Amino acid sequence: QGGVLVESVSAGAAASAGIRRGDVITMLDQQRVESLDTFKTIAEDLESGRVVPVLVLRDGSPRFLPMRLPESD
């Protein structure tokens, strides 16, 4: 099924969005996340300051979380 298991969350956009340790990120900005490499590729192309939808599996249930990306300096 793919996805990226969240092993830890530090302060920042992910924590503010409500992403937790143990979540599995399966989609980022409406693009399927198959592996850590695809997650990184998608994340690198996102525009700063946007709010992007993140689909996570938490305890076996899908949940969309809005994540606000930080503004670039």
DSSP string, 28-69: ETTEE--SHHHHHHHHHTSPTT-EEEEEEEETTEEEEEEEEP
Q: What is the pTM (predicted TM-score) of this model?
A: 0.89
Assign 71 to helix, strand or coil: coil
How do residues 16-52 score in pLDDT, each as one tens digit?
A: 999 999 999 999 999 999 999 999 999 999 999 999 9
Structure confidence at residue 63 (pLDDT):
96
pLDDT classification of 73: cutoffs 50, 70, 90:
low
Pairing of strands 24-28, 31-32: antiparallel
Structure confidence at residue 11 (pLDDT):
84
Residue 45, both tokens? 């192309």
Give the whole-angstrom CA distance, residue 68 versus residue 18.
11
pLDDT at 58 over 80: yes
